[in-house]
């Protein structure tokens, strides 16, 4: 049976759906973050080479996953918004961007704090780090485009073009550690042969990963509600001027 996704393109119905999901997402976030942090700081062992610095991974890697996942989601909603002209799709991208930007910033900063003790430097202009920095600027550019148009439908179109062109950066980030020489370690969880990390460290990482995804969902619901209501507000203000 096919699910008619077009039903949820109606802003009012979409608002009702996300409002129903919200308490579950918020509750799940609290439980998963609590469990994840406990496992990360108290249960998981130190790495035999990296010592305790491996614990930075539990906040670094989920942030990096989310930075790429959120961008991909924005690219999909930009395409949907462009092809089917669904306002909810455009506003989803607008709502998600600041969250993605925060995750990207955190991936860069925590990576830097991990790099200093392990590599001997906070920053190096190699492929993985530079492509992540470009991702951060793409988020900032996308948010700036939305702010620089009074006409929101024009803003949506310009922002959609930016996010779709910038999507080329996502595979570059993913494969940068294979294509170029880099200080950054290669993929060790999402590989063709399966994860290469022992379960004592992999389990807390995955719990933190799902916790970050759940946190994203929670914040996204709040922000997308604000965007939909803000759109309604703009329309009413325009109508009031015309009367």
Partner 1 sequence: MEEFLNMGGYGAFIWPSYGISFLILAFLVVLSFRRLRRIERTLKPLEQDRRARRRRPAKRENATP
Q: Which residues here bind partner 1, judged by CB under 8 A?
A: 41, 46, 51-53, 55-56, 59-60, 63, 98-99, 102, 105-106, 109-110, 113-114, 116-117, 215, 218-219, 222-223, 225-226, 229-230, 232-233, 236-237, 240
Give the residue with the Cβ less far from partner 1, 155 or 222. Answer: 222
What torsion do the CA atoms of 216, 217, 222, 228 make, to the nearest 10 degrees?
110
Shortest CB 152 distance to partner 1, Å: 14
CA 91-98-239 angle, 5° bins: 35
Q: Write out the two tokens for 128.
A: 């993985």
Identify whether the C-beta of residue 182 lies closer than 8 Å to the C-beta of residue 132: no
Residue 213 DSSP class? H
Nearer to partner 1 among residue 56 and residue 145 (C-beta):
56
Cβ distance to partner 1 smaller for residue 113 or 197 = 113
Nearest distance, CB of residue 181 and partner 1, angstroms? 24
Residues 85 and 9: their CA atoms lie apart, in Å, by 10
Q: Which two tokens stand for residue 102?
A: 């925060």
Q: Least CB distance from residue 190 to partner 1, whole Å?
A: 21
Query: Which lies closer to partner 1 via its Cβ, residue 26 or residue 167?
Result: 26
């Amino acid at each position: 049976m096919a699910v008619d996704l077009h039903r949820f393109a109606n802003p009012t119905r979409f608002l009702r759906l996300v409002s129903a999901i919200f308490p579950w997402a918020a509750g799940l976030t609290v439980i998963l973050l609590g469990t994840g942090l406990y496992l990360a700081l108290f249960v998981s062992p130190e790495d035999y080479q990296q010592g305790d610095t491996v614990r930075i991974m539990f906040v670094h890697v989920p942030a990096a996953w989310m930075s790429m996942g959120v961008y991909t989601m924005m690219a999909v909603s930009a395409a949907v918004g462009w092809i089917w002209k669904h306002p909810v799709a455009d506003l989803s991208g607008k709502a998600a961007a600041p969250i993605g930007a925060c995750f990207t910033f955190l991936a860069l900063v925590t990576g830097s704090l991990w790099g200093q003790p392990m590599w001997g430097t906070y920053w190096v202009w190699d492929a993985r780090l530079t492509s992540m920095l470009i991702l951060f600027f793409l988020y900032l550019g996308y948010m700036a485009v939305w702010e620089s148009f009074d006409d929101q439908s024009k803003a949506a179109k310009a922002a959609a073009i930016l996010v779709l062109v910038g999507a080329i950066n996502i595979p570059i980030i993913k494969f940068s550690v294979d294509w170029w020489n880099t200080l950054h370690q290669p993929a060790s969880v999402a590989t063709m042969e399966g994860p290469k990390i022992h379960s004592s460290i992999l389990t807390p990482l995955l719990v933190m990963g799902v916790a970050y995804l759940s946190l994203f969902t929670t914040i996204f619901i709040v922000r997308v509600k604000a965007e939909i209501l803000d759109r309604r507000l703009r329309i009413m203000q325009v109508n009031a001027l015309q009367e």
